[in-house]
Amino acid sequence: MQGGKLAGVLLSVGLFGASAAIAAPFLTSTNLGPVRVGMTLEQARKALGTPLHYKPDDPGHPECGHAQRPDAGGAGVHYMVEKGRITRIEVWPVDVDPVARLSAATTAKGVGLGATETQVKFAYGAALKVQAAPYNGEAHWLILDDQDKRHGIVFETSKGRVTSFWSGRYPSLTYSEGCL
């Protein structure tokens, strides 16, 4: 393939932001890169080739919390861990301001942080369920269930744009305050 044609193919990858889709692994309903829902933290550490720092969501419940790579520099990928196993993979903005610096992770269809609700609906069509997000009547959860109905992806939006998204298995997929 000639260089110009290859560049055109690479730029057409994903619906929204080809460079982000190429730069990072895709989030699916069960994994992000080598880390899969159901892995132990040790298995995830080995798969990533780097340590993961685990912190309980509540010190009184050490079996429930989140892990993140220490070298992530706020990269926005967190792993929800319940009883030693990853149950959810979360993608958050790098900074508090969701438009300042976005995580490069996207879904296979190119949907990531900053995508509009219209873009998510276009990408996933009738399979997407829309509901009000907990605690914020102006925000939405756009939920995409896997065929097995045991896993899925949730896109959380505010003011019509994706502010975070995550994948995992039920019931962890729909927890609104960590795994407590």
For residue 13, is pLDDT > 60? no
Please indicate, yes or no, if residue 179 is contained in any of the structural domains.
no
* DSSP 8-state symbol, 179: B
Whole-number Å distance between alpha carbons of 162 and 141: 9
Q: Is position 104 within any domain?
A: yes
pLDDT value of residue 103: 64
Asked if 106 and 20 touch (Cβ cutoff 8 Å), the reply is yes
Task: Please report whether residue 67 resides in a domain.
Answer: yes
Strands 136-145 and 128-133: antiparallel
Average pLDDT, the chain: 82
Q: Give the pLDDT band of residue 95 (cuts 50, 70, 90).
A: low
- Going by pLDDT thresholds of 50, 70 and 90, the confidence category of residue 102 is low
User: Within a domain: residue 180?
Assistant: no
Q: Is residue 77 part of a domain?
A: yes
**Percentage of the chain surpassing pLDDT 90?**
59
CB-based contact 139:132 (threshold 8 Å): yes
Domain with 66, as residue range(s), is 3-174
CATH code of the domain covering residue 126: 2.60.460
Which residues pair with residue 162 across a beta bridge? 157
Number of domains within the chain: 1
- Sorted by sequence, the CB contacts under 8 Å of residue 6 that are 6+ apart come out as none
- Residue 15 within a domain: yes
| In a domain? residue 46 | yes
Mean pLDDT of the 31-40 span: 95
> Could you report the per-residue pLDDT of 42-87, keeping only the tens digit for each?
999 999 998 999 999 888 889 999 998 876 555 588 999 999 999 9
